[in-house]
Structure 1
Amino acid sequence: MRLGVSRKLLSRVKTTEQGITVNGERVYTNDRLKEGDILEVRMEQEQSEDILPQPLPLDIVYEDRDLLIVNKPPGIVVHPTHGHYTGTIANAAVYHWREQGERVRFRPVHRLDEDTSGLVAIAKNPYIHQQLSEQLQAGEVEKRYWAYVYGAPKIVNGTVDEPIDRDTDNPHVRVVRPDGYPSVTHYGTEMIFGEGLAAKVSLKLETGRTHQIRVHMKHIGCPLIGDKLYGFAGEEETDEGIKPVTKAGGSATLEAAVQRQALHAAILAFTHPITRERMRFEAALPQDLQDLENELRKL
């Protein structure tokens, strides 16, 4: 019988009192099972001692004893980092669990950039984290995004298959480079505004590199509206910022219409590691991107 438990996790379970039992009796991993035996694997409950619980808003889409799915607003960091020790999704989740009387360590299965909104999956124990991480690596987790970009893709529906790695001159920036890590983004053009001045695109990730969507869309000449890090392809950047999109008879400063990169993680689907049920979650487009689309329709 295969439990699907990693060696690292299994070593932790083996050191836990009553970690592995059959019919209530502690056993070794090489013991054989008989039909009708009840096998139980126990892990110590953990909690994030280094994360300050904070009573912050937390948009919970789904929660059970194993998983927490939240809809992250823009401008919020998922996990505390240097310069962001408080005010994160982690701080809010740890407070939520404390109020529920749960001892849980914060384990995000994946992350979103600070200014990207949408769905984030959080595992509530190491086994769930391991199982969902393996699904991610195997391409079995579906992640779909909405984005608003400058220009319109020359190929309406396509795939960007270009390796990504750090910029040698700026380690905080990712770029397409031949010696980078394999990175694949599938996209579809949903709407075109102002005769090609901007577009709404849907995106599906086959890999999950840092800034992948932002880098790939810039690479094909359609950077995300509001993206301060990767700029606006095809127009000169100035000290005052990115030039506004213009058209005959007027202009529209789309940078002022949205205060962050116009990217939203709208759909998340995976197989629940315990129930084996295929689960699918969807987060509606947030208000700031709805407002941006309304402005784009005026172009």
Structure 2
Amino acid sequence: MNYYEPLVYVVPVEEEGFLLKTILQKRLHVSRKLISRLKLTEQGITVNGVRQFISVHVHAGDRVELRMEQEESEDILPQDLPLAIVHEDEHLLIAAKEAGMIVHPTNGHYVNTLANAVVFHWQQAGVACRFRPVHRLDQETSGVLAIAKTPYVHQQISEQMIAHSVKKEYLAFVWGVVDNPGGTINEPIDRDPEQPHMRIVTPAGYSAVTHYEVVEQYSRAALVRLWLETGRTHQIRVHMKHIGHPLLGDKMYRLARYEEESSAVPGHVLGRQALHACMLGLVHPGTKEWTEFTAPLPEDLMLLKQWLQETEQNRENRQKRSIEQ
């Protein structure tokens, strides 16, 4: 049986006599579910190299080790696909997902996903890991996405997300002139009863909080930075539409008053919703330090930004000539 590198904790003097269970839960922050799983493994939980019950008392200097069995995603077909890796270590793989790529195989989409690309990458590197995305991005959303390499890492980041301590930052191009330089949208979200695949703002929905600030304002659109306190499905898209500023290129959440402006955007400039996950910040499960991972705007959104800036400049030039005449 093969294991990942063990998670090691040396008991300090002040923890002399603590229960092993306390060390696991309070110091290593291992969930009850994962402890139960480790107890079934021959070398899952050891003290000084010997398998132990979690009810034993530990002593200063004891070496507590957790070992998790290596796993592979046998149901995911490895594929040699483009894969932009922002960071990788024995705990995490941080990828910059490209727009149009689905994160995980689903019914009808068994290939050409991020999972297929990552599994192929690990296969070529001789790494045995199961594909465990810690969060998701919509198919058309590009940007930073975290993939845990072990159950422990997945659990650690999931708990951070539940506690709202993970920082997720996005850049989006939205329609209209945003009156306020920044603000907070605190509006509950739930499924649209008439179109279950969509979400709407509704008083009966689940709490959803989005913060935003304007980075660049153009005459008919704006580049905004957003960060989330919650992670509801389609949250940014729903909230921005709710305040009258839907995302450029968003075919699902749009407003009729921007249809004419939408038709003016060249097809080669934007073929998807203009949303990019630019930064992910979390406490790294291995180093226990706050770490931020970033991904710059991809080429298509840089083209969109350039088009908006040029359109703005052309408008200002026309106004200037008109005044001079």
Residue number in structure 2 paired with 1:228: 251
Question: How much has 1:256 moved relative to structure 2?
Answer: 5.9
SS across alignment from 1:292: helix
**Partners of 1:170 and 1:47 in 2: CA distance:** 37
**Partners of 1:124 and 1:81 in 2: CA distance:** 21
**Partners of 1:254 and 1:225 in 2: CA distance:** 12
Residue number in structure 2 paired with 1:81: 106
**Partners of 1:145 and 1:69 in 2: CA distance:** 16
Residue number in structure 2 paired with 1:26: 51
Residue number in structure 1 paired with 2:235: 212
| Residues 98 and 256 of structure 1: CA distance in aligned 2, closer, same or farther (over 3 Å) | closer
Greater helix content: 2
Question: How much has 1:49 moved relative to structure 2?
Answer: 1.2
SS across alignment from 1:190: strand
Question: Of 181, 204, 208, which residue of structure 2 is paired with 1:156?
Answer: 181
Runs of 4+, deviation exceeding 4 Å: none
Residue number in structure 2 paired with 1:239: none
Quick one: which amino acid aligns to residue 26 of structure 1?
Answer: R
Residue number in structure 2 paired with 1:55: 80
* Contact 1:222 1:233 (C-alpha < 8 Å) held by counterparts: no
**Partners of 1:233 and 1:201 in 2: CA distance:** 21
Quick one: which amino acid aligns to residue 53 of structure 1?
Answer: P
What aligned pairs does 1:33-112 form with structure 2 within 5 A after superposition?
A: 33-112=58-137
Q: Which runs of 5+ in 1 are unaligned?
A: 236-241, 246-250
Number of residues of Structure 1 aligned to a counterpart in Structure 2: 286
* Contact 1:225 1:255 (C-alpha < 8 Å) held by counterparts: no
| Residues 116 and 216 of structure 1: CA distance in aligned 2, closer, same or farther (over 3 Å) | same
Quick one: which amino acid aligns to residue 260 of structure 2?
Answer: K
| Residues 254 and 137 of structure 1: CA distance in aligned 2, closer, same or farther (over 3 Å) | farther
**Partners of 2:257 and 2:35 in 1: CA distance:** 53
Quick one: which amino acid aligns to residue 275 of structure 2?
Answer: L
| Residues 214 and 185 of structure 1: CA distance in aligned 2, closer, same or farther (over 3 Å) | same
Question: Of 128, 149, 155, which residue of structure 2 is paired with 1:130?
Answer: 155
* Contact 2:178 2:217 (C-alpha < 8 Å) held by counterparts: no
Quick one: which amino acid aligns to residue 156 of structure 1?
Answer: P
Residue number in structure 1 paired with 2:289: 277
Residue number in structure 2 paired with 1:5: 30
**Partners of 2:256 and 2:73 in 1: CA distance:** 42
**Partners of 1:109 and 1:158 in 2: CA distance:** 28
- What CA deviation, in whole Å up to 9, does each residue of 1:236-286 have, x standing for no partner? xxxxxx3335xxxxx933666300000010111111112112111111111
Question: Of 254, 260, 264, which residue of structure 2 is paired with 1:243?
Answer: 260
**Partners of 1:148 and 1:263 in 2: CA distance:** 7
Residue number in structure 1 paired with 2:307: 295
SS across alignment from 2:257: coil
Q: Which runs of 5+ in 2 are unaligned?
A: 1-22, 313-325
Residue number in structure 1 paired with 2:5: none
- What CA deviation, in whole Å up to 9, does each residue of 1:36-63 have, x standing for no partner? 1001111111111111111111101100
TM-score by length of 2: 0.85
Residue number in structure 1 paired with 2:275: 263
TM-score by length of 1: 0.92
Is 1:189 aligned to residue 206 of structure 2?
no
Question: How much has 1:171 moved relative to structure 2?
Answer: 1.0
**Partners of 2:129 and 2:287 in 1: CA distance:** 20
- What CA deviation, in whole Å up to 9, does each residue of 1:195-214 have, x standing for no partner? xx111100011111110000
Greater strand content: 1
Question: How much has 1:165 moved relative to structure 2?
Answer: 0.7
**Partners of 2:169 and 2:256 in 1: CA distance:** 24
